[in-house]
Amino acid sequence: MLKLDSHAAGRHFLHIPGPSPVPARVLRAISYQTIDHRGPEFGELGLEILTNIKKIFQTKSPVIIYPSSGTGAWEGALVNTLSPGDLVLMYETGQFATLWRKLAERLGLKTEFIGRPGAEGWSYGVDAAKIEERLKADTAHEIKAVCVVHNETSTGVTSNIKAVRTAIDAAKHPALLLVDTISGLASADYRHDDWGVDVTISGSQKGLMLPPGIGFNALSPRAIEASKTAKLPKAFWAWDEILESNKTGYWPSTPSTNLMYGLHEAMDMILSEGLDKVFARHERLAKACRAAVQGWGLEIQCQDPAVYSPVLTGVVTPDGVDADQLRKLILERYNLSLGTGLGKVKGRMFRIGHLGDCNELSLLAALSGCEMGMKAFGINLKGSGVLAAQEVLQG
Ligand code: PLP
């Protein structure tokens, strides 16, 4: 039988871009005894969670909490706001934008995918001008929603969501704006209300430092209005019953009680540190990580410095180097887990996650593992990325 606690000596360095390491405080909270999710104590917990989660999304509107992964929350956003055959405009930034499109089509929506052609688009963020141009051409208002990924986890590109809102407004188009920040929330600055987002989709296992298992939909008044007439079939995902139960701190079905303890604790940690400080810490670590990649003489997957992700860095491996074989060596030798390349960039790059419960020394340890692993693999590095990262962190 597989023993899940039989890891090698020392700690495991989990540096995939989510799930991210779960801090001891959160793990302890999750281990508290499960209580009655219809009892008085749970209602109090529920109300506190529902209040604090709004601060994380920077919204005054309700946030739906599902016992689901992020994919469920994608589905929740679409089925509550759209009807069969509706056209949605989606933007190809990488693998997660591609998977969201596939899901939309399985639900019976029509999708239009725009972006740069080929693999090139996987190195850049959303070009809001392209969205504006497409919406202006849609004089009959056939497009019902614009769907974009804020932090594209497959590439390490963080798109400018405010620019997308501005583009929709400039086109005077009524489409809803749906944004996936599954890997951006609580790591990269994200402002649901300020940026005029109608539904924000997120998950627990990234910046929130929880295990997988909670999905979120942050709503806007327009999204709630749209949900009253949207005709895609929905039952479990339907917002109306959840919003009703949430008024007293409860849910219509059983919430993931122990993950909710963890969520309560994680939000306490994040809000005590302060959202601004959390974002600044992520920016600092990301800058150090990029300095390391440049110090090694390697290419960063994101080709536009204006949209470098503070959450993860995609590292393109030199021609002829299979990034997954390299990752395998690094995991076996140094107990360091790096993210695989996905979809169009599979085998050509790996991803270093620096999100959530991450600090200077955890990042430097991961960079050391990468550097030693790449040397052992026979890659000719230009210099020491670890030293370059240290210089950024000391500066
Ligand atoms: N969207 C993004 C940006 C993601 O990073 C992920 C997962 O990593 C998903 C969607 C899918 O979420 P999940 O795997 O939790 O269902």
Helical H segments across 58-201, by residue range:
70-81, 95-106, 128-137, 161-170
Atom of ligand 1 nearest to the CA of 72: 16
Q: Which residues pair with 152 in a beta bridge?
A: 157
337 within ligand 1 shell (Cβ under 6 A): no
Q: Domains of the chain: which residue ranges?
A: 13-21+274-394, 24-271
Strands 176-180 and 143-149: parallel
Confidence check: pLDDT of 8 > 90: no
340 within ligand 1 shell (Cβ under 6 A): no
Confidence check: pLDDT of 50 > 90: yes
For residue 7, name the pLDDT band (cuts at 50, 70, 90). Answer: low
pLDDT, mean over the chain: 97
Q: How far apart are CA 17 and CA 13, in angstroms?
A: 12
69 within ligand 1 shell (Cβ under 6 A): yes
Task: Give whole-number Cα distances, 282 to 62, 73, 211, 373, 393, in Å.
Answer: 27, 25, 20, 24, 12
Confidence check: pLDDT of 296 > 90: yes
Mean pLDDT to the nearest integer, 364-383: 98
Mean pLDDT to the nearest integer, 67-88: 98
Structure tokens at 294: 């440049």
Answer CATH for 24-271 from 3.40.50.1110, 3.40.50.1000, 3.40.50.2000, 3.40.640.10: 3.40.640.10
13 within ligand 1 shell (Cβ under 6 A): no
203 within ligand 1 shell (Cβ under 6 A): yes
353 within ligand 1 shell (Cβ under 6 A): no
Atom of ligand 1 nearest to the CA of 69: 15
Q: Could you report the per-residue pLDDT of 213-240, keeping only the tens digit for each? A: 999 999 999 999 999 999 999 999 999 9
Strands 215-219 and 157-158: unpaired
* pTM confidence score: 0.98
Counting Cβ atoms within 10 Å, is residue 90 exposed (0-12), middle (13-18) or buried (19+)?
buried
Atom of ligand 1 nearest to the CA of 71: 16
Q: Which residues pair with 14 in a beta bridge?
A: 337
pLDDT at 6: 64
pLDDT at 273: 98
Counting Cβ atoms within 10 Å, is residue 253 exposed (0-12), middle (13-18) or buried (19+)?
exposed
pLDDT at 73: 98
Question: CA 220 from chain center: how many Å?
Answer: 20
180 within ligand 1 shell (Cβ under 6 A): yes
Confidence check: pLDDT of 151 > 70: yes
Burial 255-280 (b: 16+ CB within 10 A, else e): bbbbbbbbbbbbbebbeeeebeebbe
pLDDT at 332: 96
pLDDT at 395: 87
Q: Is 133 left (phi over 0), alpha (psi -120 to 50) or beta?
A: alpha
- DSSP element (H, E) containing 179: strand 176-180
Q: Which residues contact 15 (CB under 8 A, 6 or more apart)?
A: 336, 337, 338, 339, 352, 353, 354, 366
CA of 29 to the centre of ligand 1 (A): 24
Confidence check: pLDDT of 105 > 80: yes
212 within ligand 1 shell (Cβ under 6 A): yes
Q: What is the CATH number of domain 13-21+274-394?
A: 3.90.1150.10
CA of 106 to the centre of ligand 1 (A): 17
Atom of ligand 1 nearest to the CA of 184: 3
In 3-state terms, what secondary structure has residue 258?
helix
Q: How far apart are CA 136 and CA 168, in angstroms?
A: 9
Bigger pLDDT: 314 vs 1: 314
18 within ligand 1 shell (Cβ under 6 A): yes
Q: What does the chain come to in residues?
A: 395
